[in-house]
Chain A
């Protein structure tokens, strides 16, 4: 709650005296996970951002623009039924420069009788040709709430809410990003899940006159073998 008020207050403050940038678009993502042994699993993920609105352009603000596409692969080890650690690598295809990013994460599952919560702690490092590397530390909390009964069964739907706070630093400059998302999930079965929702991202909190809002219409497919 405190954090929410902080974000709201920051948004308000930024909006009132500084220039705000607003963008929006379409954000499909898909992941494929499979086990390679009892403890180890591999996940491949592809995600892509496509802007359809940008208030910074002088002419037509509604214009299609491919922003970026990420290709990720993770190798995970399950430490217990509730804790999993992953190391991953991302190759980002983006106009200007494609980047490399190693990722480390710990995910913790918390169950209650009515819903479940996934905590994800992640660090990543992005490497550029002519700039110093960018370090980020992130924490995401995502809840999954069944809409029919207390447990999620095949053919039922669920709601997913998440918030992620990202701290980043590069060459002495630091910044904060926040990602708030809500989605309707379709639990086809345990190996196939589909989520449709909105992902609202705000960043450049600590940079003068650069505060940025991005609203994504997101669709995600989670497949496991």
Chain B
């Protein structure tokens, strides 16, 4: 049992410390998107017509993503290839993070980096399709919904000087992080 725990722990460690973000994303036409995903969007976002659809893959995981503006916020809704909803991500400001989570996240940055800056924050809702629908069209917040914060940040410490994407839970605890690879800048520099 101890061995398994050690292996599991090491595995988690490797997820937290060794992952890199290398997603490929492309624009797709609405007709290429699974019907059930379009249905869900129609139910939740009602009359919203300006939705941009994307297909993305990181090599193993494949997903469809709908991007739209809703009540002045940028929403990204992720579906799996069968059209089942995976999560909703909404772009937010730093001050929209709940106070206790914000403090914990701040503490994480202070303790782990000598220099850091937050580039982008998305609040991520995961859960049952109906609950997620209520969140959008009824503004109803079901307790079963999982809330995480996905934060893209620049962080420098003794070991690393990178752009990261970190996933924090609703209490501000870091769940995982990965390096965001910045594309070559040779054509911008020379």
Contact = CB atoms under 8 A, between A and B. Distances in A.
Of the listed residues A31, A74, A107, A149, the one surrounded by the most CB atoms of chain B closer than 10 A to its CB is A149
B163 interface: yes
A130 B183 CA distance: 44
Given A81-B161, A118-B185, A45 B26 contact: no
> Interface residues of A toward B: which range?
35 or more
Contacts of B27: 148-149
Contacts of A151: 23, 25
A45 B190 CA distance: 8
17 contacts: A43-B190, A80-B154, A81-B162, A81-B182, A82-B154, A107-B188, A113-B120, A116-B188, A118-B188, A118-B189, A144-B188, A148-B26, A148-B27, A149-B25, A150-B67, A153-B26, A193-B184
Interface of A: 31, 33, 43, 45, 72, 74, 76, 80-82, 84, 86, 105, 107, 109, 111, 113, 116-118, 120, 142, 144, 148-154, 156, 160, 185, 190-191, 193, 195, 220, 222, 224
A153 B188 contact: no
Given A81-B162, A190-B183, A109 B26 contact: no
Interface of B: 23-27, 54, 67, 119-120, 154, 156, 161-163, 182-190
B82 to A, nearest CB: 22
A149 B54 contact: yes
Given A81-B162, A148-B26, A153-B26, A193 B186 contact: yes
B40 to A, nearest CB: 22
Given A33-B190, A150-B54, 5 more contacts: A82-B154, A148-B27, A153-B26, A156-B26, A222-B187
Given A81-B154, A82-B154, A107-B185, A74 B190 contact: yes
The interface centre, meaning the residue of B163, B183, B185 with most chain A CB atoms within 10 A of its CB, is B185
